[in-house]
Structure 1
Amino acid sequence: MRHRAARMLGIGLTAAALVLTPAVGVPSAAAAPETGPLGLTSMGVVPASESAIQQQFGAPGPHPVAQARTPQDCAGLTDLYVRVVQLGFDVQDEMKCFGTFPDAGLRSPVGVEFYYPDDIAGLGVLPLVLWTPGILVEPGIYDSTARHLASHGYVVAVNYSLVNWFGLTHEMGAQAAAAANADATSPLHGHIDLTRTVVAGHSAGGGSALISGGRLQGVGAQFAPEFRVVGALAIEPGPATLGIGVPPSTVPTLIVTGSADFIVHPAGWPTLVQYPQVQAPAWLTTVRGASHGKPMDGPANSVFPALEVAFLDYVTKGSAEAAKVFVGADYALATDGALMNTQRNDRADALG
């Protein structure tokens, strides 16, 4: 009953955002393009040549990728969903599935699938990314994103529950990662650095990441005493609880919206509620022309995977090149040709 009420609240907030937010002004780092009746820009891929971030972080990483389950062609209802997303949300990449419920009969829609560098045996310990999909989304659809992150030297746990809300999937992923790290028969044994964990996700999963940025630290320590959350990555985040009854994110946080997203309006709750609540360095930016489905696209057709790698490299590896995206007077997040309406809070400003 509680989950149903929360879902109905989210639907109501979405409708309200669509009606009310076009009139809300958002600070802009550059002149905004023409907007339609909802205050949204038209969809379209920003060429890689216009995005320094995509040029630098959008190429595949140096590592071949291994994964626990090989994605397959989508079927049934999910195949219909994929066709709608590709046609209506400007997704150009081929989309795959894991074959979970409802297209695999009664097979459980709850699970964790790992992606990691195939040469992990010689790489020591790697940071962990806990990735949660959107609500009702087949988790295999994020295959291109997970592969891109893993190719850059990350262990990616795609943790899913069909609902994918309220941060519970990140808890499940943290427990599965701790178990794999301790399992002598697992290829991940001793190779996951649980002290460098980032919670991430898209849509409902993005809202979950903001919740987990505030509460997973305490929960994760139950699975492994050394567990530590060092960042939260929220892509077009759903409203989740909007901070009601849960602590806000207390780790460095990046929130990314899309200028053509009518489901999570860029001037709605991400700007008005979620971003101001973060109790740590925080950044908020909008991808030009991006729909709500664009984060499902591959790195060749979308700047989202590049932004994700840049943030991960910054908060988990201390990369000097990635730091240029987020700190400094001329930080690239505010000047990149693929982005608009970029903000950072006082805590982020104080970093330099």
Structure 2
Amino acid sequence: MKKIIFSVLTISLSLVSCQNTDELLENTSENNLTSENQTASKSNFFPATGLANEQYGSIGPYAVSTDAVLGDCGNIGGIIVDVLQSINVLDHTIQCTNNFPFGNGSPIMTSVYYPTNIANMDKLPVVNFVGGILSNEGNYAQMLKLWASHGFVVVVSSDFINSMPEMHILGALKASKLNKDTQSPLYGKIDMSRMIIAGHSAGGGASLLTSSIPEHAMKLIDPALKVVGSLPIEPGPAAVSFTVKAPTLILTGRLDIVVMPWYTKLHQSHLLNQSPAWAATATTATHFSPTMEISKNEFAGISVAWLKYTGYNDADAKAYFVGPNYKLKSDSQFLQGIHPYRVVRNPIADNLQ
């Protein structure tokens, strides 16, 4: 455990000394849909910019409810948080769930975010999300609320390691259970045939692995289950992509020194050839951008566009990915032109109508 703590501190200190541009985590309170207006950490200077962030990088039309309970960060994780706060890497108002090592609860957890008025809505697509190694579910609360506010049920799962498909499988099981539970507010409201597998860091690598599982095997969880998209954000190195069977958008950050974009391009995005695939590198994103307040999360808008495209086949969102002049290729938030990490898509995506 000492080695784990040392590794986390080493990475964080490197970020401060080399970039001094990023905050690891940003506080969010339950159902607080105005958190994007909170003061940013001293260690972050870059706002989210570009076409997708302008169109989709703000809270959507729906208020959000969740069964996640957020509070102070304690135990071993709390010690790490205290140290990182002392060097202005973390905001001083950050919260966590009670799961180990940030609390006394089990390291295995799963929570759900959804539109508050879901009872008056048709069935919604479901986003099955897993975060990074050593992370806590609360670290991603603002991004998860953003997605839910745009009309998605979002299930987030964690076992503190988050590197293999078991947490996405747990998330799929929870979604199926809630959809069948007559006592659940989500009873009959989750469209299991429209599931997007998403993740960050280790969970991003796990999303590639989960998206490689054959459809007939996933249907053992729920006969209606169908994976319609994959969203690995700065995916960890535990997975390659040539086995992925779902449309996939891989997002990386130019300032990421934990999972560097050259590795993702060489080892993962370059090998996607069984399904439509896109890859984009955000100009100012670090490894911890997905944990920031929405106005500083470079991936916020494009992630919503991807979810709306794969989950709803929304025409406006589709324009970012399909057609000869697809908007992602001209979005200033992402590297373009002749840069080696420029926006690219594979031949299958090129031929989509």
Given the two structures, how large is their TM-score scaled by the length of structure 1?
A: 0.82
1:326 match: secondary structure: coil
Correspondence list, 1:158-177, <5 A: 158-177=156-175
**TM-superposition CA deviations, 1:69-122 (whole Å, max 9, x none):** 2311222432344456678796769532111012323x2111210110110000
Task: Give the Cα–Cα distance (whole angstroms) in 2 for the partners of residues 220 and 86 of structure 1.
Answer: 41
Task: Give the Cα–Cα distance (whole angstroms) in 2 for the partners of residues 100 and 184 of structure 1.
Answer: 28
Determine if contact 1:41/1:260 at 8 Å carries over to the other structure. no
Query: Closer, same or farther in 2 for the Cα pair 1:343/1:240, shift >3 Å?
Result: same
Correspondence list, 1:119-130, <5 A: 119-130=117-128
User: 1:54 maps to what in 2?
Assistant: 53
**TM-superposition CA deviations, 1:203-250 (whole Å, max 9, x none):** 00000111111106333311211110000000000011435xxx7211
Q: Larger RCO: Structure 1 or Structure 2 (Cα < 8 Å, ≥ 6 residues apart)? A: 1
User: 2:277 maps to what in 1?
Assistant: 282
Query: Closer, same or farther in 2 for the Cα pair 1:238/1:47, shift >3 Å?
Result: same
Structure 1 residue corresponding to 2:150, chosen from 136, 145, 152: 152
Query: Closer, same or farther in 2 for the Cα pair 1:305/1:95, shift >3 Å?
Result: farther
Task: Give the Cα–Cα distance (whole angstroms) in 2 for the partners of residues 54 and 92 of structure 1.
Answer: 23
Query: Closer, same or farther in 2 for the Cα pair 1:336/1:46, shift >3 Å?
Result: farther
Determine if contact 1:206/1:234 at 8 Å carries over to the other structure. yes
Determine if contact 1:93/1:298 at 8 Å carries over to the other structure. no
Task: Give the Cα–Cα distance (whole angstroms) in 1 for the partners of residues 145 and 232 of structure 2.
Answer: 18
RMSD: 2.7
User: 2:349 maps to what in 1?
Assistant: 348
2:324 match: secondary structure: coil
Structure 2 residue corresponding to 1:187, chosen from 185, 188, 201: 185
Determine if contact 2:289/2:298 at 8 Å carries over to the other structure. no
Structure 2 residue corresponding to 1:272, chosen from 250, 266, 270: 266
User: 2:26 maps to what in 1?
Assistant: none
Determine if contact 1:235/1:257 at 8 Å carries over to the other structure. yes
Q: Using the TM superposition, give the Cα deviation of residue 304 of structure 1 relative to its aligned residue in structure 2, in angstroms.
A: 1.3
Q: Using the TM superposition, give the Cα deviation of residue 274 of structure 1 relative to its aligned residue in structure 2, in angstroms.
A: 1.1
% identical equivalent positions: 35
Query: Closer, same or farther in 2 for the Cα pair 1:85/1:290, shift >3 Å?
Result: farther
Task: Give the Cα–Cα distance (whole angstroms) in 2 for the partners of residues 351 and 134 of structure 1.
Answer: 32
Q: Using the TM superposition, give the Cα deviation of residue 321 of structure 1 relative to its aligned residue in structure 2, in angstroms.
A: 0.8
Structure 1 residue corresponding to 2:294, chosen from 280, 283, 299: 299
Determine if contact 1:231/1:315 at 8 Å carries over to the other structure. yes
**TM-superposition CA deviations, 1:300-336 (whole Å, max 9, x none):** 1112121211100001101111011112222221111
Within the alignment, does 1:335 sit opposite 2:334 as a pair? no
Within the alignment, does 1:236 sit opposite 2:230 as a pair? no
Gaps of 5+ in 2: 1-6, 12-17, 23-43, 336-341
Q: Using the TM superposition, give the Cα deviation of residue 272 of structure 1 relative to its aligned residue in structure 2, in angstroms.
A: 0.8
Correspondence list, 1:1-352, <5 A: 45-48=45-48, 50-82=49-81, 95-105=94-104, 107-215=105-213, 217-242=215-240, 248-268=243-263, 270-278=264-272, 279-340=274-335, 341-352=342-353
Given the two structures, how large is their TM-score scaled by the length of structure 2?
A: 0.82
1:77 match: secondary structure: helix
Task: Give the Cα–Cα distance (whole angstroms) in 2 for the partners of residues 169 and 299 of structure 1.
Answer: 25
Query: Closer, same or farther in 2 for the Cα pair 1:41/1:152, shift >3 Å?
Result: same
Query: Closer, same or farther in 2 for the Cα pair 1:151/1:309, shift >3 Å?
Result: same
2:163 match: secondary structure: coil
Determine if contact 1:96/1:143 at 8 Å carries over to the other structure. no
Determine if contact 1:65/1:117 at 8 Å carries over to the other structure. yes
Query: Closer, same or farther in 2 for the Cα pair 1:151/1:127, shift >3 Å?
Result: same
Query: Closer, same or farther in 2 for the Cα pair 1:197/1:300, shift >3 Å?
Result: same
Equivalent position amino acid for 2:326 in 1: Y
Query: Closer, same or farther in 2 for the Cα pair 1:87/1:195, shift >3 Å?
Result: farther
